[in-house]
Amino acid sequence: MTAMNINEVLQELEKIKKVYRELIITSNYKQIDTFEIGWDRYKPGIEKNLYAKEYEILLQNRQYSFLLNDRELIQFYFKYENETTCDKIKMAYYPYPIKLREDSYDMERYFDDSDDLLLQEYYLDLWNILNQEFGVPVKDEQLEKILSILKDESSIDQTIEPNINDLIVQKFNYKYEITNSSHIRIDYSRDVTSHHVCEIQIGAINNIRFPLDKIVSPFLFFDFIIKNIYRKSYPSMFKSSIIEQELNFARKKSYQITDFNEDNIFITHL
Amino acid sequence: MMQFIPGNLAIEKNPQELILWDKLKNILVEGKGIVGYRIPTLGIPNKEDIPSFIIRSEKYGVVILDVVNFKITAMDESGDYWTTSTNKEIFSRDIVSSQFYETVVSKLKDDRNLYDLKKKKLITSDIRNYIIFPYNTKDEIASISSEPINEFICKEDIDSKLAEIFQINEDYSIKVNLLDIIDSLFENTYKNNRKNKPVNDPRTNNDFIQKSLDYTFKLDEIQRQVAMQIPDGPQRIRGLAGTGKTVILSMKAALVHKDFPDYKILFIFNTQSMYNQIQRYVIDYYIHETKQNPNWSNLEILHAWGGREQQGLHYNISMKYGTRPRTYAETELRMSSDPLEKIYFDLLKETKGKLEPIYDVVLIDEAQDFSPSLFETIYYLTKNPKRIIWAYDEFQSLKELKIKESDALFGKDKFDNPNLPESRLEGQYVGGIDKDFVLPNSYRNPRINLMIAHGIGMGLYNQNEIVPIEDKTSWEARGYKIIKPEGKTKFEYKDQVIAERLEEHSKNILEKLLVENGRNEKELVSFTTFNSNRDELNQIVTKIIHLIKLQSVPPEEIVVINLDTGKNSKTEFEYLRRELDKQEIKAITPGYIEKASHFKEPGFVTLTTPFRAKGNEANIVFIFNAQIVVDNATYRMRNSFFVAVTRSRGWCYISGNGIKSLLLKQEIDSIIGNYPQFKFVFPKYEDIQRRIELISANKDLETVETDIDKILADPIYRALLKEKIKRDEHTKQEFKRL
């Protein structure tokens, strides 16, 4: 069995676009060079410590192969040395970074001149936490109000000690359902020696890598993501005969890696 | 008519120049032409090197008059330097004037209609050059001068000489078309005809768009007059969207900066995406005039808010006075209906009395978007005589049916008197500069588009929702002529009103090109109704495919605006984007997926909301979900509709779905049927008043409206409501009157 050649990768991406069409808002993949598939204005390795910021930069700069409904991103990057020898692969999924407990899509009505408002507010909340950490007084008026009420009460009941740190964290928990989602990616690098050639990375933490014994095909990767983000509706989304046929076909395109060692897990920051 | 362009005359305040200016205004009355104070500059950076008055006119020809603003006591042997009575050495005005003369001649040589290449001679008659000494007598000058280059005019001869210079010679005139060429050479808007592409016959939408883009922006007479003057105090400029307000303010900023490089100038605006445009206008004009870059430390172009990443006035003041810079994301501001007012209100509270005047001139663009606290802040930041120039869109929102008077904008002093009373905007400054200036000509919107926007915006053809402009003057300020009722300045209940939009106020090029090519300008607006939202969206996709693939329209020329910004809008934008993507047509959704400032990115169709579209324009605009406009008790959607339609430079495809869209169709059909006139019956003032209250309310009316709908739908709630009303005498009476 051999790895997919560059044309076969393009065909798979074409197929993804066709099969999952109703889930894709924008398809953006492109053969950018004779032996390279990426997208226009491809920039390698944009990473930020704060996932939301990393996500935002990727979204705004169109650093994706597919933009899905709900603004989730999928990246496919392939670099070949020649027709058949694959050099580098990156397949990644970037979910929308946060989820609020309340439905806040109405925000648009209030201010129309800024970018993603959910994320801006999230940054402000983070900023509040950091400010508190470094001893800067709280600026959040809501919190200040609660704090002053608590102070009044505590003068009567000495057992209540207002703790601003707890309050901020509680406000965070109350407001956000998810705040620390992150990307998942599969990396393949033919020449690498310091770690396994093909591995799965979860989160932006560079230092945790799990080895893979296979390079899965783009179609399988895409389907894996869709199957999981639409866990409930997935079974009714497609004609199962068609999708099964495509998946069988794609499985054959997956490429077995020799010299696999399952103990090859890297957590170098420990 | 002679046009007088005072430039910086009012700020320079040279008494003798002011006197002469008034004299010229009395003498120069015949025919067409322009009188400028140190204008045109012909690319000469130093104002000292430009003579006082430059006249070009069909009756008087080209005349250069320089006023020597000092008493001269000596001239050196070469004549190069003159000494003033205060013992200052100045460069000979005689030489300055002659050098300017040479520059004029070399400019005029650029056009073969003005210069005979064979004979090497100007075809127009000679250019006349005079030096005026208002502080010296003939004898004084005769005793110190030798062999002047130009004719000297002294104190006692000024009146008689002026009469002689400007005596009309019936045999003499410069043809108006030559005068136009001179104007464009002087103002550098001249384009050599040979370089123009041959005119071909336009067929596709894109042919028309491209042809219309070939035209360069040239100031019209009214714009030139207001752009080329700096008032010595506050000034208000009013005009509809697309009347050139931003260009005019930018030119004013550049003009002050050029002549008064030490002045601190502030230019503030509200729409983030306008920054680059303003900067480009200022740079273009400034570099053209001075051949150097502006000194940005004295010419600040700032967003009204700003943040750590982009400079802004609020952010800068906060930093300077040690108050807290605020961000949009704060919960308190997000809940506020006017966050900008809130932050400036708080800023004033925290700094009151401490703000120091630092700016000599302040220019405010998009002033209709700003509320009083910001104006008041500006007032304190501006030095006397408060040269604050604000450009105001007469009709960006229905709230602005009546102009907000300056009394209410700039705050009050400690005796509770307005800092800047409206009366300060009456009349003119020295040099004939209007304190309140109206720009009636629209460049952006074709006439039919503008009338659809106005007609629907004011609900003129919907008896239950009509909120018309109430008086003749305000209609005229927006470029309409009142045909009926005759002789009334303020309209009354049941008046039959006929208002006509005059063709002369419509300067849209696409409209003219269509008419020239035998097409009807009415094709620029269309309205289509659909049974369902899905049908509507699909039709938009089909039309866009047609425009891009068959009419060769570049995707960036297409902007799609969703009037319904409720919770379905997200899905609708995603649907449109996906359906276009299926056809390999790429789209952007600024502020939702791409950055808010990314508008009309080359190669992409723009999908957006009315508010995000503000300040932008496009040759092709789609507007959908227009049914939301009618039968909306808050009236606010009429305003969104107005904003959306006024984005269009050319074709505007409007659509709606459901039964309500048929109601809107009736309104639009009435407008088209009566075009270019509006015919309506004036409603009761109390009805107008109530509607305006709703429009201007800062409350969340949408939620309350939903609640009221619930009450009306439930028989028990309805019964309760009736009981309540019955018991409240006042409300009962009001309902009866309805």
Q: Does the structure show a pLDDT above 80 at A128?
A: no
- pLDDT given at position B199: 46
Query: Greater confidence, B17 or A155?
Result: B17
Report the candidate in B162, B146, B132, B147 with the shortest Cα–Cα distance to residue B71: B132
Out of B335, B565, B587, the one facing A108 most closely (by C-beta) is B565
> Taking CB atoms and an 8 Å limit, are B271 and A113 in contact across chains?
yes
At A106, is the pLDDT very low, low, confident or very high (cuts 50, 70, 90)? very low
Q: Select the residue from B310, B579, B582, B589 to test the A interface by mutation, using most A Cβ atoms within 10 A.
A: B582
Q: Does the structure show a pLDDT above 60 at B336?
A: yes
Q: Which residues of B touch A123 (CB under 8 A)?
A: 329
Q: Does the structure show a pLDDT above 90 at B330?
A: no
Q: Does the structure show a pLDDT above 90 at A54?
A: no
If you average pLDDT over residues A11-20, what whole number do you get?
Answer: 93
- Highest averaged pLDDT of the listed ranges B228-242, B323-337, B378-392: B378-392
- pLDDT given at position B214: 61
At A269, is the pLDDT very low, low, confident or very high (cuts 50, 70, 90)? very low
If you average pLDDT over residues B393-414, what whole number do you get?
Answer: 73
CB B55 within 8 A of CB B3: no
- Edge-to-edge strands, sheet with B72-75: B72-75, B81-84, B89-91
Burial degree of B86 (CB within 10 A; 0-12, 13-18, 19+): exposed
> Taking CB atoms and an 8 Å limit, are A115 and B595 in contact across chains?
yes
pTM for the whole structure: 0.73
Residue ranges with strand state E in A95-148: 99-100
Contacting B residues, span 598-627, partner chain A, CB-CB under 8 Å: 598, 609, 611-612, 614
Query: Greater confidence, B566 or B556?
Result: B556
Out of B328, B566, B577, the one facing A26 most closely (by C-beta) is B577
Q: What is the mean pLDDT of chain A?
A: 78
> Taking CB atoms and an 8 Å limit, are A25 and B327 in contact across chains?
no
Q: Select the residue from B272, B310, B334, B601 to test the A interface by mutation, using most A Cβ atoms within 10 A.
A: B334
Radius of gyration of chain B (CA): 29
- pLDDT given at position B305: 86
By C-alpha distance, the chain A residue nearest B596 is A115
- pLDDT given at position B197: 47
Out of B327, B581, B614, the one facing A27 most closely (by C-beta) is B581
If you average pLDDT over residues B672-678, what whole number do you get?
Answer: 94
Consecutive H or E run containing B588: strand B587-588
Q: Does the structure show a pLDDT above 90 at B524?
A: yes
Distance CA A63, CA B160 (A): 76
Neighbours of A241 (CB within 10 A): 8
DSSP string, B77-129: TTSSEEEETTS-EEE-HHHHHHHHHHHHHHHHTTSTTTEETTTTEESS-PPEE
Contacting A residues, span 171-230, partner chain B, CB-CB under 8 Å: none
> Who's near A52: CB < 8 A, 6+ residues apart?
A97, A98, A119, A122, A123
> Who's near B171: CB < 8 A, 6+ residues apart?
none
Structural tokens at position A135: 């001893």
Q: Does the structure show a pLDDT above 60 at A108?
A: no
Q: Which residues of A touch B324 (CB under 8 A)?
A: 139
> Taking CB atoms and an 8 Å limit, are A113 and B272 in contact across chains?
yes
Residue B586 contacts A, CB cutoff 8 Å: yes
Distance CA B135, CA B149 (A): 20
- pLDDT given at position B194: 39
Out of A26, A69, A124, the one facing B581 most closely (by C-beta) is A26
- Highest averaged pLDDT of the listed ranges A182-186, B217-221, B654-658: B654-658
Distance CA B234, CA B254 (A): 18
CB B662 within 8 A of CB B655: no
Out of A69, A71, A115, the one facing B591 most closely (by C-beta) is A115
Q: Which amino acid is at B724?
A: K
> Taking CB atoms and an 8 Å limit, are A60 and B565 in contact across chains?
no
Q: Which residues of B touch A22 (CB under 8 A)?
A: 578
The region that residue B459 occupies, defined by phi over 0 for left and psi between -120 and 50 for alpha, beta otherwise, is: left
Q: Does the structure show a pLDDT above 80 at A102?
A: no
Residue B634 contacts A, CB cutoff 8 Å: no
> Taking CB atoms and an 8 Å limit, are B331 and A142 in contact across chains?
yes
Which range among A182-196, B64-78, B182-196, B317-331 shows the weakest confidence by mean pLDDT?
B182-196
Contacting B residues, span 251-280, partner chain A, CB-CB under 8 Å: 270-272
At B216, is the pLDDT very low, low, confident or very high (cuts 50, 70, 90)? very low
Q: Does the structure show a pLDDT above 50 at B346?
A: yes
Q: Which residues of A touch B639 (CB under 8 A)?
A: none
Residue A63 to chain B, least CA–CA distance (Å): 11
Q: Does the structure show a pLDDT above 90 at B378?
A: yes
Residue corresponding to tokens 């932050």: B343
Out of A112, A115, A116, the one facing B611 most closely (by C-beta) is A112
3-state SS class at B509: helix
Out of B334, B578, B595, the one facing A110 most closely (by C-beta) is B334
Strand partners for A208: A267
| Residue B608 DSSP one-character state | E
| Residue B215 DSSP one-character state | S
Q: Does the structure show a pLDDT above 70 at A209?
A: yes
Report the candidate in B457, B484, B489, B492 with the shortest Cα–Cα distance to residue B473: B489
Residue A8 contacts B, CB cutoff 8 Å: no
Q: Which residues of A touch B567 (CB under 8 A)?
A: 105-106
- pLDDT given at position B574: 93
CA atoms within 13 A on the CB side of B410: 23
Distance CA A28, CA A134 (A): 43
> Taking CB atoms and an 8 Å limit, are A60 and B567 in contact across chains?
no
Q: Does the structure show a pLDDT above 90 at B560?
A: yes
Q: Does the structure show a pLDDT above 50 at A152?
A: yes
The Cα-based distances of B326 to A187, B305, B318 in angstroms read 42, 9, 9
- pLDDT given at position B419: 92
At B63, is the pLDDT very low, low, confident or very high (cuts 50, 70, 90)? very high
Tell me the count of A-B CB pairs closer than 8 A: 83
Strand partners for B44: none
- pLDDT given at position B656: 96
Distance CA B399, CA B458 (A): 11
Distance CA B720, CA B734 (A): 18
Percent helix / strand / coil, chain B, rounded to 5:
45, 20, 35
The region that residue B635 occupies, defined by phi over 0 for left and psi between -120 and 50 for alpha, beta otherwise, is: left
Q: What is the mean pLDDT of chain B?
A: 86
Residue A140 contacts B, CB cutoff 8 Å: yes
- pLDDT given at position A88: 92
Q: What percent of chain A has pLDDT over 70?
A: 71
If you average pLDDT over residues B389-399, what whole number do you get?
Answer: 73
Q: Does the structure show a pLDDT above 90 at B210?
A: no
> Taking CB atoms and an 8 Å limit, are A109 and B565 in contact across chains?
yes
Distance of CA B105 to the CA centre of its chain: 34
If you average pLDDT over residues B24-51, what whole number do you get?
Answer: 88
- Give the model confidence (pLDDT) of B248-299 as tens digits: 899 899 989 988 999 999 999 988 767 878 888 898 888 877 878 899 999 9
Distance CA B204, CA B208 (A): 7
The Cα-based distances of B142 to B75, B84, B89 in angstroms read 11, 16, 19
| Residue A232 DSSP one-character state | T
At B331, is the pLDDT very low, low, confident or very high (cuts 50, 70, 90)? low
Q: Does the structure show a pLDDT above 70 at B309?
A: no
Residue B699 contacts A, CB cutoff 8 Å: no
Distance CA A19, CA A205 (A): 32
> Taking CB atoms and an 8 Å limit, are B609 and A69 in contact across chains?
no
Residue B334 contacts A, CB cutoff 8 Å: yes
CB B522 within 8 A of CB B671: no
Structural tokens at position B631: 């039968």
Residue A146 contacts B, CB cutoff 8 Å: no
- pLDDT given at position A268: 52
Q: Does the structure show a pLDDT above 50 at B386?
A: yes
Q: Which residues of B touch A66 (CB under 8 A)?
A: none
Residue A27 contacts B, CB cutoff 8 Å: yes
> Taking CB atoms and an 8 Å limit, are B329 and A142 in contact across chains?
no
If you average pLDDT over residues B624-640, what whole number do you get?
Answer: 85
By C-alpha distance, the chain A residue nearest B337 is A110
> Taking CB atoms and an 8 Å limit, are B327 and A124 in contact across chains?
yes
Q: Which residues of A touch B566 (CB under 8 A)?
A: 106
